[in-house]
Amino acid sequence: MDQYLLSFQKFFGVQIFTLRGFQDSRSLLLAAIVAVISLSFHEFAHAWVALKNGDSTAKMQGRVTINPASHLDVLGFLAFVFAGIGFAKPVPINQNNFNNRKKGIFCVAIAGITANLILAILGAFFYVMFFYLYLKSDGQNEKVYQLFIDFFGLFATMNVSLIFFNLLPIHPLDGFRVFESFANYNNRFVKYMRNYGQYILLGLILISLIVNSVSAMPQYFDVLGTYLKFFGLNLVQLFVSLFGLLFYGQWSFVLWTP
């Protein structure tokens, strides 16, 4: 098995990892499983932290659970599987119920990102661990090890994609809520984003789609894809290198070919 199992592929301008040599159906199945887990934990984290900060709105609507049926949105789920970014049903929050309004907004906003960060770190750890076990197995059970390696590689990278997508300070993403928690209610940027943020976000996605549908267009026009590729690639590589140092005693362990 080649060390470089995963490579970046452009799809609708968003950088995702595809499994080299796999059939599309298998790749999509793995991505679907990752999407169910990642989106469910992201939304559960929002709901649970909101409850801890005094707002029981999400609890009353059955959202303080990791049950995917309570969180998944069909369109957002499919977007995450096929494009590497997506969304679930928004967790209902009543900011007036928070014990401390600004603290509550910040904690709830950062909760989903934190959940995906933990999942990404776990994915990188198990990716390197199963690769290490495979090398120690002298080639036995190669297909089993490859399945786990491919799954956890996707697990790490798709969660990192969620992190950086949600960190954008554009309404209604979590990054905007973080900024909102530190700003005055009448802050010009906050007011502008409340009114136009969703259109800006849609525009970035559409530009990404157009750029990657027309081969002659320069890729740097794809602002969203370039942003996700740069930060996502480097963060996952950092995690993999750290765990490579743990298992192999060297920093040079890599996840993909550039």
Q: Would you name the residues annotated as active-site residues?
A: 43
Single out the residue of 2, 1, 258, 4 nearest to residue 153, CA to CA.
4
First to last CA, the chain: 18
Single out the residue of 255, 234, 14, 15 nearest to residue 124, CA to CA.
255
Residue 69 contacts by C-beta under 8 Å, 6 or more apart in sequence?
none
Residue type, 248: Y
Position of tokens 């750290």? 242
d(CA 85, CA 161): 6
Single out the residue of 28, 38, 10, 212 nearest to residue 19, CA to CA.
28
* SS3 at position 9: strand
In the sheet with 14-19, reading across from the earlier edge strand, the strands are: 14-19, 6-11, 256-257
d(CA 111, CA 129): 27
C-alpha neighbours within 13 Å on the C-beta side of residue 90: 9
Residue type, 244: G
Q: Tell me if 16 sits within 8 A of 26, measured CB to CB.
A: no
